[in-house]
Amino acid sequence: MEPIIQVKHAAKAFDGTKVLRDINIEVAAGEFFGIIGPNGSGKSTLLRLISGVEPATEGQILLKGKDARGYPRRELARWLAVLQQDALPPLGYTVREVVEMGRFPFQSWLGTDRPDAGKLIDSIMLRLDLESLADRTVENLSGGQRQRVALAKVMAQEPRLLLLDEPTTFLDIGYQVQLMDYVSAWQREEGLTVVAVLHDLNLASQYCDRLLVVSEGQEVSTGTPDRVMNIEMIRSVYGTEPVVLKHPANGKPQILLKRGE
């Protein structure tokens, strides 16, 4: 089966300065793929190339075997969705109105959708425990509630490919796990493909099938968390001396930090 994403010798430059160099990855349908690396390493830039928002300066980005920039935006939005750190629309919209915005790619020029779209929105609101917030405006929500609404909006798109751009950055640990659990359950039940830029290495290890490590715009390593998450990688990429242990519940590698004294 052809991979849903193929990145071939991709590079990106801004004003003549390369921020990505010779990136090569393939992501299979149904995979949970993570991208990790230090701040400024090019993670989010790579995600924008995959989404088709930014063109690659060199190389190819293929989605379902076709150049990512070759899809009309509305067509692409019918099977690809992006969840960012804070991607909700301007103030004044209610929670339900925001979730309904996810149906835009499927609406006719008259604004009509398929007959069961309302039931789909209802089921998503129920699943993400948003029913009691339906008439509240988004500016009156907590950070965790706002991200649940943003996730509901992309769920309403019914995508087959979901791109996450550091979605847990502004959340406390309880909401981080909650959001990742929602995405993971959705991914397993629907066979969804997920590509996630994550800054928390322990979350990346817990939820991702494979990881790409980038540093200074270049691929350092690609593989399972067991292969990638090791002392040598953390030391060379992040410049700190970690302790790497196996999680007592599932055996996934987990990172403990030591004081630099």
CATH code of the domain in which 12 resides: 3.40.50.300
What one-letter code names the amino acid at 91? L
Domains contained in the chain, number: 2
Task: Assess whether 30 and 53 both reside in one domain.
Answer: yes
Task: Assess whether 190 and 204 both reside in one domain.
Answer: yes
- pLDDT, position 195: 98
- pLDDT, position 30: 96
Query: Hey, what are 110's tokens?
Result: 């008259």
- pLDDT, position 89: 62
Q: Is 257 contained in some domain?
A: no
More confident residue, 113 or 45: 45
| pLDDT over 80 at 80, yes or no | yes
* pTM score: 0.93
Q: Which of 157, 182, 201 is the last residue of a domain?
A: 157
Task: Assess whether 42 and 100 both reside in one domain.
Answer: no
Task: Assess whether 18 and 144 both reside in one domain.
Answer: no
Q: Is 17 contained in some domain?
A: yes
Report CA-CA distances (Å) from 70 to 21, 49, 52, 55, 195: 22, 12, 8, 10, 20
Range of the domain at 102: 94-157
- pLDDT, position 261: 66
Q: Which of 129, 157, 185 is the last residue of a domain?
A: 157
More confident residue, 79 or 109: 79
Q: Give the number of C-alpha atoms closer than 13 A to the C-alpha of residue 135, restricted to the C-beta side.
A: 0
- pLDDT, position 87: 59
- pLDDT, position 257: 87
| pLDDT over 80 at 90, yes or no | no
